[in-house]
Structure 1
Amino acid sequence: MGSSWSSWDPLSVCTGGPEPSQPSQSDAEHQVNQRAQAEFVRHAEELEEAMMQEAMYQSLVHEHEPSEVHEDADLQEALQQSLRPAAPPECPTEESIRLQTLLDFLGMKRLDVGSTNLSEGGSLLSNQCFYLAIARSWLASADNGSGMLVRDSALQLKREIEACVFCARGDAGELGDEAEAYTDYLSCVVQGQSPASASAITDLAIAIFASSLGGIEAYVGKGYSSLPREQQVSNLALVWHRPGHFEAVVAINGGKMDINLGELIDIAQSQNVVAAVVQA
């Protein structure tokens, strides 16, 4: 459905990625500055939703942990950090502007859903932005992706995706509760050979908007293409990757976009956005 590009890096990690290149001094400089201002506005608008989700999260911590843990200074500091807005992004590049223009054309927006979650036992987990972003976009039609539903689903996605990685590679060294997530984990998922092979994850398609490259890479589960269009729309998750972080991509109202993967790729290519598809 699309062509790949030679500079694509499938091992873009959740933290510590390469710094984005600086925009060239050209006639587009004014547009770049406007994008930077828009980023500040977007982060301010998202802060209220992030604080609401973290309030729900903190409530769950209190519910599952004994009272003496509530006084733990490290835990309280971690929760307070999660309530603070993220640092403003770097000045947009020509590549990220190209992708943002595509989102604007489609009536989509980026939504930062944070990077912390809880384990099954109630322990605080960091480096979860990859799974949270997938879950929020996938479940956007379910009450605009309510906080606890997203968090529970993100944890389940993490377990199933990591099971696929272990099955495909036979090495658990890079996996773990707080291990950084790699986009190429999804290439293991599309093979569909794991304990999770009968789960809903094999019917998903996940499109990664790589802002530092200005292109899209989509990972298609083995069952996705056989689904009717309505189900393909429901099972499409859209994720924005910028150096150091993953964000959900949703409709401008926070809900689900009425688009399937094939339609997204066609529109992207019509807007001169390069796309690559990875499937079994």
Structure 2
Amino acid sequence: MVDISRGRVEGLPDWDRCAVMGVVNVTPDSFSDGGQWFDTDLAVKHGIDLVAQGADLVDVGGESTRPGASRVDEAEELRRVVPVVRELASAGVLVSVDTMRASVAEQAVAAGARLVNDVSAGAADPRMIATVADAEVPFVVMHWRGQSRDMNARAVYRDVVGEVVAELREGLERAVAGGIAEERLVVDPGLGFAKHAEHDLDLLAHLDAVRGLGRPVLVAASRKRFLGRVLADGRDAVPPARERDAATAAVTALAAGDGAWAVRVHEVRASADAVRVAHAVGGARRAG
């Protein structure tokens, strides 16, 4: 009998299967859908649409973290993010804020966000961990080795699984030492961040090692470069980001089957269906 415990995150619903986190990029330059939702009203409508398609929560971000991206200034990030968070929360949507800035996290939580998803795990802003601790909201500790402008140069590993797990453990320890309750922490292996395609695939193949840290795991593979590499044709022609949704749903099914707490995706419906199938198969295994 197989029994996969996904873990529980204090302050969030206790889903009985892998949750689906929909992405709302309020940016002009996201690698995947930059510019589509770069308007408060459009972004809010999109977030509500994602919930209708099966998203359990919606992750709102105002700064692209694609490889090579430059940082947006604080005032602009606040202008992009906070109104969208406020409107979605007012509409009853469970909102996460995707930011590396403590000021944005603080104002987003005040506007109704219930989770802070910081790709730097608090390393980019020395105030972040204390801010989240004071707000008493859950926090995502993602594996990160530096800003987007040069992160590809940091993709050097002898043992990617062992090193990522060790660095995530250090991130968890920093968060707890900074006052965030362990029960509010989520880990994310950081697919695509300072990693090449082979690293991302190795981490997905050994998700159990990440789960071994004892905290719920968020998998964010949606439309990323490694999927493009997997799908490349014989001439190494890589499909554009928006043509990687079926591959994303395949990762969702695999991750859900391996005990991921949540997946972060741009196209929700296919991943929501993949989660339902993985949950049903898991139930049949347990019954057997």
Establish whether TM, by shorter chain, passes 0.5: no
Higher radius of gyration, 1 or 2: 1
